[in-house]
Chain A
Amino acid sequence: MNCEQCDQRAISTKPSLCKDHFDSFILKTAQETIDQFGLFTKNDRICVAVSGGKDSLALLDVLTRLGYAVEGLFINEGITNYREFSLKDLDDFIKRSGIKVRTVSFEQEAGFGLDTVMKTKQFHACTVCGTLRRYLLNKYAQDYDVIATGHNMDDEAQTVLMNLARGNSSLFLRTGPKTTENEASIKRRFVPRVKPFYFVSEKHLLTYTVIHRIKTDFGECPYAPDSYRMHLTEILNRYEEEHPGTKKHILETYLALREPQQHVISIEKEEFDHLSAGDVEIPSGKAEELIEEIASVLKNQ
């Protein structure tokens, strides 16, 4: 198969593009998403939430190439036989790129890593991990204008379907390319979260890392295989193969169903209800309650 735009051999499908045209396609898609949804400008300081996986390393690389001021923030959850491998890939990437990446850990912030929490058998891994990660990202990104995450088209289509299938109507309206502040959150220093890869597929992101020799070892979170999301991933990929364009159509329909102004969505006030007023507080209510609850369970064991 040849490239749609020249006579070179294609290295991607949907669209069929050669290495050079594929590279331009990824940059163009990210730039169009940034512009269409007003994610950030060249004057903004961008904190990229880094896991050491392909999506976040590709994001650091793409945003740097597009001329944006980016730095990374790596959260170490404390998952043995998983996170240390992506940390090594991240170190290699930092050495090559020279991009500044700060590291913080659950252990250092809360006094326990995720493995320790899971040994109690009293908590759901993804709930603990997600809550603490969001809290720490926001806490350590206070000096930035936005937090950019490597969420891709597959992640987002899965999220839309998950919320739909589970009847999470309030969460359903809270996804999208940009989660920004409302009046309550500005006061409490919520840093807007943005997703420049909203319309880039997971397969294309892996292709990008392969052609740019960004090394990311395949690693699967030991707590992920049983997750609801993993089941949906398998179903959605099967559907995409039989009906190409499914994931993109899910996202386009999702966005079209909302009012235009809702493309930039607001976080819910309840997320911050446990906070006291003031301009310097950091959104922490749910996370701090959870840390206290886990600490109490660990103490009694």
Chain B
Amino acid sequence: MKITIERTKETIEKEFSGKAMDLLKEIGVLVEDVLIIKNGQLVTEDEELDDSDEIKLLSVISGG
């Protein structure tokens, strides 16, 4: 799975299947801090993800 984190401009390759909220927990990101985009679609944290999905995490926190 390819995960792009907008705030830090990081891209992570990771094996994962399960709920989006569990993925966030694994990579140390709060649900409250991000919007989850799965294959270009906005989804909620209980969305089931699999290894072939491309995930983008948009940062909720604005620029100060």
Spell out A's residues near B (CB within 8 Å).
1, 10-13, 16, 53-55, 82, 86, 202-203, 206-207, 210-211, 218-221, 223-225, 227, 229-230, 233, 237-238, 240-241
Q: Mark B13-42, 1 if CB is under 8 A from A, else 0.
A: 000000000000000001111010100001
B6 x A218 contact (CB < 8 A): yes
Cβ distance B30 to chain A, nearest Cβ, rounded Å: 5
With A and B bound together, what is the CA distance between A98 and B63 in angstroms? 25
With A and B bound together, what is the CA distance between A206 and B35 in angstroms? 8
Interface size, chain B (Cβ < 8 Å):
21
Q: Which of A1, A207, A233, A241 contacts B35 (CB 8 A)?
A: A207
Q: Which of B6, B33, B46 contacts A1 (CB 8 A)?
A: B46
Spell out B's residues near A (CB within 8 Å).
6-7, 30-33, 35, 37, 42-47, 58-64
B63 x A221 contact (CB < 8 A): yes
Q: CB-CB < 8 A to B31: which residues of A? A: 241
Which partner residue on chain A sits nearest B35 by CB separation? A206
A233 x B43 contact (CB < 8 A): no
Q: CB-CB < 8 A to A233: which residues of B? A: 61
Q: A237-B33, A238-B30, A238-B32 are in contact. List 5 more A-B contacts (CB 8 A).
A: A11-B43, A11-B44, A13-B45, A211-B42, A241-B30
